[in-house]
Chain A
Amino acid sequence: MVTIGIDIGSISAKAAAIAKDKLLGSKVILTGYNARQAGMAVFEGLLKELAIDRDAVGRIVATGYGRNSVDFADQAVTEITCHAAGAHFQDPEVRAVIDIGGQDSKAIALGPNGRVTDFAMNDKCAAGTGRFLEVMARALEVDLDAFGEMSLQADEPAKISSLCTVFAESEVISLIAKGARRTNIIAGIHASIGARVVAMANRLKLQAPVMMTGGVAHNIGVVKALEDKLGLPVQVSAHAQVNGAIGAARLAAGG
């Protein structure tokens, strides 16, 4: 029997299918305006891609901010529990997860069974999230996908001191005006995210191995900044963006 996890985030909707402890596949689409529709679209899209019949699907677990909008799911579970389950599924040794998504960031401590023992989330602020990076990419006129590689070429990372996305954007604009190099500004932005997320993560007693999940994990610059501040190696989930959906599918299978 196939189980499905659906993760409706603020920016993207993800779905993953699991059968017999194996990941069959996953899919990501933009959430858009209607979370319910996005849930249905990503679910149907995934089934189509994997050529799975609707009748072959067993339990469905929904997660993410739109978890309660997915009315065809059997259960709604928070993304905290799902990210822990997803990370545990990928690597049972993992004891900590740092997830940076579109509009939130969270740190999760896991027990050996993959259950959450403690967690911390960002407060009502977009700084230190994917949205923050999007705003900065726009200000710098750089494709967000290029951020990671570009930051590695920095020779003198800029200092971004503001904790607020809007004010940090002003800081970036004034750095551009002063002629600072893009690579250095981007490295500064990553360091600022790293500092903010690690300050939050330090509320918990995080133990290695640490896995990073969420779409922002694809950005090598942020990963390096986190390692730097955390003082621990950070492994990136091979399925970073769909880790929550994988965890949901795993929980749907009773894992």
Chain B
Amino acid sequence: MSDQEKTIDPEKERRKIKSVKTMKDIMTHYYIEAKTAEETGKKVAWITSGGPVEPLIAMDVIPVYPENHGAMIGASKMGTDLCEKAEGMGYSGDLCTYALADIACSTVNGGPIGGLPKPDMLVCGNNICGTVLKWYEVQARYYDVPLFILDTPFCHTEFSDEARQYVRRQIDEYLVFLETVCGKKCDHDHLRDVGRLSMEGQRLWQAVLDTTMNKPAPMSAFDAFFHLALIVTLRGTQTVVDYYTGLLEEMKNRVAEGISAVPEERYRLLWDNLPIWFKTRWLSDKFAAHKACLVADTYTSAWCGSLPYLDENNFLESMAEGYSRIYLNIGTDRMAEMVVEMIDKYEVDGLVMHSNRSCKPYSLGQYDIARIVQEKRGLPTLIIEANMTDARSFSESQIDTRIDAFMEVLKG
């Protein structure tokens, strides 16, 4: 069938989120800028997804995220190939597949964008997991560049003064590290502005996610997985603020016009853990066929979950707590409390947990959280065993049956 002959479904067109194009343009521009940094004389820092990006933005360093790249590799269905390559290099297949894909990709400049630009420095925050320490050490050796590690103590229930001082002192060391690598002083007034923009971006992102409190929801978690990229990568820039302002407006308009993510939404679900990047479309269609919308998730909300601990009038001081008290760096009881809060807020009917072989810190405790949710709210949980990037751990027909059976339970 030629393009002209393709029938356009007006209902489907109406349902499409129009901001997607702007987002793609911004991300394309961002990656072009990062990949041409050597020619433009800009420095590039690789940074973990939960790392403190604001000082990089303030120092005019381009932040590049191997994890965002990992998501792109997964979505492009190139994860398995790169993971196999890493296994051939001697890395265990049980490791994080973002790490495996990234390490392998560096040696072949593969993946959907021909590899990431060579870093001038690496910035690693262990608030998301312990794997990043070894992963970034491997890459620091490979590229022979300096590595800064921000060590955030685990916050079981609270954030002690000792922890605050410990992390706060490291933020100062971080600034010294950046000044040394960049060969210039940090402009603290500019950093304050960046902090303000970062918080503004996070507030807007939260507002975008909160539009799904509407019934029907104007977007789903699958949309959030896509639109998330900016708050992760360019937090602290005006670009992010402008983009989410536009996206929020589009969502509000969709609510006003009654445009829903899922036609005839009947069931509202909460997603836990990273997306299964190579299967998002399949999963989205699968749930939609049951009139189920994943209205919220614990993953994308992590990039605005620290707002209560951040202070825009004192950003540098508040960073210690803001970067320590994130979803993956707190105790299971507190995680369960947050899940229950989201269940109430978004009025969901059930939980869908991706038990992710590749991400142990996220997957540990899921059965406990499921039990707590069952006890406190009487809601059922579906567990999907998979992997965020590597398709070898995804068994379609088994997962298909589990989803169907779970929906049969919900339908009663």
Contacts and interface: CB of A to CB of B under 8 A. Distances in A.
A116 B380 CA distance: 11
A119 B181 CA distance: 55
Interface centre among B383, B397, B409, B412 (most CB of A within 10 A): B409
Nearest to A10: B397
B398 A81 contact: no
A121 B409 contact: no
B199 to A, nearest CB: 41
Contacts, number: 41
B411 to A, nearest CB: 10
B253 interface: no
A232 to B, nearest CB: 20
Interface string B378-409: 00100101000000010101100110110011
A78 B408 contact: yes
Interface string B352-395: 00000000000000010000001000001001010000000101
Given A115-B412, A123-B385, A124-B385, A104 B405 contact: no
B408 A121 contact: no
B253 to A, nearest CB: 38
B395 A116 contact: no
Given A123-B385, A124-B393, A124-B395, A117 B401 contact: no
Interface string A106-134: 00000000011111110110000000000
Contacts of B395: 124
Nearest to A104: B398
Contact of B405 (A65, A80, A123): A80
Contacts of B383: 120
A121 B412 contact: no
Contacts of B402: 121
A120 B383 CA distance: 9
B408 A116 contact: yes
Nearest to B370: A203
A212 to B, nearest CB: 19
Interface centre among A76, A77, A121 (most CB of B within 10 A): A121
Contacts of B398: 104, 121, 123-124
Contacts of A119: 405, 409
Given A121-B398, A124-B393, A116 B367 contact: no
Contacts of B374: 118
A65 B397 contact: yes
Contact of B409 (A65, A76, A116): A116
A134 B370 CA distance: 35
Nearest to B397: A65
Contacts of A116: 405, 408-409
Nearest to A77: B408
Contacts of B367: 203
Contacts of A80: 401, 405, 408
A78 B385 contact: no
Interface residues of B, number: 16
Nearest to A78: B405
Nearest to A80: B405
B370 to A, nearest CB: 8
Contacts of A169: none
A76 B401 CA distance: 11
A115 B409 CA distance: 8
A13 to B, nearest CB: 16
A119 B401 CA distance: 12
Contact of A78 (B380, B393, B404, B412): B404
A79 interface: yes
A118 B405 contact: no
Nearest to B403: A78
B397 A81 contact: no
A77 B407 CA distance: 10
Nearest to A68: B400
Contacts of A123: 385, 398
A77 B408 CA distance: 8
Contacts of B404: 76-78
B186 to A, nearest CB: 49
Nearest to B407: A78
B375 to A, nearest CB: 10
Nearest to B408: A81
A219 B62 CA distance: 64
A81 B393 contact: no
Contacts of A81: 405, 408-409
A65 B401 contact: yes
A118 B409 contact: yes
A4 B367 CA distance: 37
A119 B408 CA distance: 11
A117 B393 contact: no
A78 B380 CA distance: 17
B368 to A, nearest CB: 11
A104 B395 CA distance: 13
B237 to A, nearest CB: 42
Contacts of B409: 81, 115-119
Nearest to B367: A203
Contacts of A124: 385, 393, 395, 398
Nearest to B393: A124
A204 to B, nearest CB: 10
Interface centre among B380, B395, B398 (most CB of A within 10 A): B398
A61 to B, nearest CB: 12
Interface of A: 65, 76-81, 104, 115-121, 123-124, 203
In the complex, the 6 A-B pairs of residues with the closest C-beta atoms, listed nearest first: A80-B405, A78-B405, A124-B395, A78-B404, A81-B408, A123-B385
Given A81-B405, A121-B401, A123-B385, 12 more contacts: A65-B397, A76-B404, A78-B404, A80-B405, A116-B405, A116-B408, A118-B374, A119-B405, A119-B409, A123-B398, A124-B395, A124-B398
Interface of B: 367, 374, 380, 383, 385, 393, 395, 397-398, 401-402, 404-405, 408-409, 412
8 contacts: A65-B397, A78-B408, A79-B401, A115-B412, A116-B405, A116-B409, A121-B402, A124-B385
